[in-house]
């Protein structure tokens, strides 16, 4: 059983933040979290991105800023021969001093880092341009220049309006560290298993609770029931499969974690106000109109 794992990040001796490049193997990382803030840009590849309780498709130039202890992972899809890669910056909030980002000059960046607790996805030209800037930071040899370039990226992100929050109702970030660690373990169980059978008893056992106590805890932390969250993951996955593949409705039903086609139709229609088949038809019609 996979759990959200704590990742230990170590910077080089002469650097106060970490910038790394990952190839395809980097996408094998499990659902994990760390106290460092992280900016990730995808240089190659596509698949599914999980940030907190948000799941959505990603492709090249995907750009996300994640706050401390926000669990995340990227899962590749497509052919095993497809290329994949990412470039990542990781840093502690106080890596330049406890109050550095609270100075008047850093006001915009301070607000950006506060928003990052919910996870931020950037869009438009910005994400492509920032990916190029990250490549320049990675290649830069002078440590002072590297730091200035990194702060320039943060400043640029802080004034952009081309973004969405990934966990808009993120009550988890308001909880104690112990509770965040516990709920992250549950999200990891859901992320790694929603395609198959998911059991409330197992989820409760992961964090050492009785089922009744777990249900109350989970709802307090997420403002949703455990099964509502599981179903949301399954419906989200199904909608992406309906629009991104030509798989049959039956195949999508079972790959999304549903065990009965009629139940899938009923649940999907209830959540989306449209049947799976019509959802696909409407998407294809909309795509053809805009081509």
Task: List the 32-33 sheet strands across, edge first.
Answer: 5-6, 32-33, 72-76, 47-51, 54-58
Query: Residue range 16-45: average pLDDT?
Result: 91
The string of pLDDT tens digits covering residues 122-167 is 999 999 999 999 999 999 999 999 999 999 999 999 999 999 999 8
**One domain, residues 24 and 135:** yes
**pLDDT of res. 39:** 98
Four-CA torsion 106, 112, 117, 122, nearest 10 degrees: -150
**One domain, residues 235 and 115:** no
- Residue 183 domain-assigned (yes or no): no
Query: Residue range 185-195: average pLDDT?
Result: 90
Res 290 pLDDT > 50 = no
- Give dist(CA 67, CA 65) in Å, integer: 7
**One domain, residues 27 and 161:** yes
Instruction: With beta carbons less than 8 A apart as the criterion, state whether 102 and 111 touch.
Output: no
Pick 47 or 170 by higher pLDDT: 47
Instruction: With beta carbons less than 8 A apart as the criterion, state whether 56 and 48 touch.
Output: yes
**One domain, residues 207 and 282:** yes
Domain of 29 in residue numbering reads as 5-165
Query: Residue range 227-237: average pLDDT?
Result: 92
Tokens found for residue 236:
């989200």
Res 172 pLDDT > 60 = no
For the chain, give the percent of residues with pLDDT over 70: 89
- Give dist(CA 147, CA 195) in Å, integer: 42
- Give dist(CA 84, CA 122) in Å, integer: 20
Res 169 pLDDT > 70 = no
The string of pLDDT tens digits covering residues 78-131 is 777 888 999 999 999 999 998 999 999 999 999 999 999 999 999 999 999 999
Q: Is the torsion defined by CA of 154, 156, 27, 208 positive or negative?
A: positive
**One domain, residues 132 and 234:** no
For the chain, give the percent of residues with pLDDT over 90: 66
- Residue 229 domain-assigned (yes or no): yes
- Give dist(CA 44, CA 63) in Å, integer: 12
The string of pLDDT tens digits covering residues 262-274 is 999 999 999 999 9
**pLDDT of res. 55:** 85
**One domain, residues 203 and 242:** yes
- Give dist(CA 161, CA 120) in Å, integer: 11
- Give dist(CA 208, CA 230) in Å, integer: 20
Q: Rounded mean pLDDT of the chain? A: 88
- Give dist(CA 3, CA 26) in Å, integer: 18
Q: What is the pTM of this model?
A: 0.76
- Residue 78 domain-assigned (yes or no): yes
């Amino acid at each position: 059983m996979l759990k959200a794992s704590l990742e230990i990040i170590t910077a080089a001796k002469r650097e106060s933040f970490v910038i790394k490049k990952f190839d395809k193997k980097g996408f094998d990382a499990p659902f994990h979290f760390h106290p460092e803030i992280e900016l990730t840009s995808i240089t190659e590849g596509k698949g599914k991105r999980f940030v907190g309780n948000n799941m959505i498709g990603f492709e090249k130039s995907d750009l996300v800023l994640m706050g401390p202890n926000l669990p995340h992972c990227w899962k590749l899809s497509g052919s095993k021969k497809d290329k994949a890669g990412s470039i990542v910056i990781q840093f502690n909030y106080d890596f330049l001093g406890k109050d550095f980002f609270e100075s008047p000059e850093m006001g915009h960046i301070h607000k950006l880092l506060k928003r990052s607790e919910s996870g931020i996805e950037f869009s438009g030209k910005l994400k492509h341009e920032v990916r190029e800037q990250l490549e320049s930071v990675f290649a830069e040899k002078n440590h002072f220049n590297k730091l200035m370039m990194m702060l320039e990226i943060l400043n640029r992100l802080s004034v952009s309006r081309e973004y969405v929050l990934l966990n808009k109702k993120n009550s988890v970030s308001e909880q104690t560290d112990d509770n965040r660690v516990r709920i992250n373990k549950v999200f990891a169980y859901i992320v790694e298993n929603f395609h198959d059978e998911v059991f409330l008893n197992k989820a409760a056992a992961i964090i050492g609770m009785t089922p009744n106590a777990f249900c109350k805890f989970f709802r307090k932390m997420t403002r949703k029931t455990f099964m509502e969250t599981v179903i949301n993951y399954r419906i989200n996955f199904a909608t992406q499969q309906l629009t991104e593949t030509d798989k049959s409705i039956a195949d999508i039903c079972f790959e999304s974690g549903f065990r009965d086609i009629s139940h899938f139709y009923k649940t999907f229609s209830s959540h989306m106000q449209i049947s799976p088949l019509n959802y696909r038809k409407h998407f294809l019609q909309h795509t053809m109109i805009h081509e």
